[in-house]
């Protein structure tokens, strides 16, 4: 083979690799811009007049943590809400989800009727940061849908996608991943995956429902502001801590459950958990937490 032909083949190979690695370029640009926005928003008390024009001086002085960076935001509202962080730390002294983690481990090891188990679908439990994934021919697969796909493939009935057994297993996956120091690692490696990401992003920033709110209205522009007694949480780091034990629920819930509730709050008929719309929304949201430590399950009000 001539030197010219070899060089041509190498050139084609380099172009192919660069193209494959470029599918996440826009998403990574979005993530970095979001991080810069939140770090600037919560940089110091001086930024308050720009981002919190309606907050009182007392509230800004006594209720906010400032100088936040990167991984700090995985705590959600508790990253910048002093009183909320104190309550959060107290709740974690006796986590209300410990029994769920134990139950999830039992489910992971329990045999199906055909003699197989979740171990045959997921060889190790430290997988929380690896989902959602884009699978050719299937679209976006969340960890919730992956669990149900495993059940169906083994002749078992799929579980409810918002609470119950599925949150126990997800709690075990999240806990095992957190213990191993796993980070969120959502991958966009094809044109189709990039398109799914873009659709999820578009919906996140689109105003919907009779209130004409977008997800970003509350969780980007509104993050840190109060709605009645609740302080709004940030998109940046939003997916790191699921499944979540909410005091309002008195139990664990999946990210799908939380999205359904948010849509209702927007005055919109919620999309079905596991739908293409919801899965692509989760794909976008999860990419915005890329590189952050998995720290679920966790507690929220």
Q: Please tell me the distance from the alpha carbon of residue 95 to that of residue 143, in angstroms, as a whole number.
A: 23
Return the H-helix or E-strand segment holding 134: strand 133-135
In whole angstroms, what separates CA 102 from the centre of its chain?
Answer: 23
Q: Please tell me the distance from the alpha carbon of residue 298 to that of residue 171, in angstroms, as a whole number.
A: 9
Closest CA to 81 of 68, 70, 96, 98: 68
Helical pair 191-204 and 25-41, crossing angle rounded to 10 deg: 30
**Contact present, 298 and 252 (Cβ < 8 Å):** no
In whole angstroms, what separates CA 214 from the centre of its chain?
Answer: 17
**Contact present, 81 and 231 (Cβ < 8 Å):** yes
Q: What is the DSSP letter of 220?
A: I
β-sheet bridge partners, residue 227? 230
Q: Please tell me the distance from the alpha carbon of residue 34 to that of residue 26, in angstroms, as a whole number.
A: 12
262 is a catalytic site residue = yes
Question: Greatest CA span in the chain, whole angstroms?
Answer: 76
Active-site entry in 121, 215, 218, 262: 262
Positions marked catalytic = 262
């Amino acid at each position: 083979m001539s030197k010219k032909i070899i060089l041509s083949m190498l050139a084609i190979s380099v172009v192919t690799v660069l193209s494959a690695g470029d599918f996440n370029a826009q998403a990574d640009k979005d993530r970095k811009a979001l991080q810069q926005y939140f770090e600037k928003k919560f940089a110091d008390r001086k930024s308050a007049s720009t981002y919190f024009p309606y907050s009182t001086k007392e509230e800004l002085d006594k209720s906010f943590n400032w100088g936040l960076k990167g991984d700090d935001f995985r705590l959600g509202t508790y990253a910048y809400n002093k009183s909320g962080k104190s309550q959060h730390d107290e709740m974690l002294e006796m986590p209300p989800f410990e029994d769920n983690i134990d139950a999830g481990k039992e489910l992971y090891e329990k045999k199906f009727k055909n003699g197989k188990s979740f171990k045959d679908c997921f060889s190790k439990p430290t997988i929380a940061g690896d989902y959602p994934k884009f699978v050719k021919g299937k679209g976006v697969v969340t960890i919730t849908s992956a669990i149900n796909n495993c059940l169906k493939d083994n002749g078992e009935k799929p579980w409810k996608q918002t609470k119950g057994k599925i949150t126990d297993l997800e709690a075990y996956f999240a806990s095992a991943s957190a213990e191993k120091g796993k980070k969120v690692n959502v991958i966009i490696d094809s044109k189709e995956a990039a398109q799914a990401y873009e659709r999820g992003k578009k919906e996140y920033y689109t105003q919907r429902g009779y209130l004409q709110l977008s997800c970003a209205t509350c969780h980007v522009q509104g993050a840190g502001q109060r709605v009645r007694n609740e302080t709004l949480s940030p998109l940046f780091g939003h997916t790191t801590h699921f499944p979540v034990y909410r005091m309002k629920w008195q139990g664990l819930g999946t990210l799908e459950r939380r999205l359904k509730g948010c849509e209702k709050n927007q005055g919109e008929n919620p999309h079905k958990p596991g739908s293409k719309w919801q899965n692509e929304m989760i794909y976008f949201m999860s990419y915005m937490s890329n590189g952050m430590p998995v720290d679920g399950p966790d507690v929220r009000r």
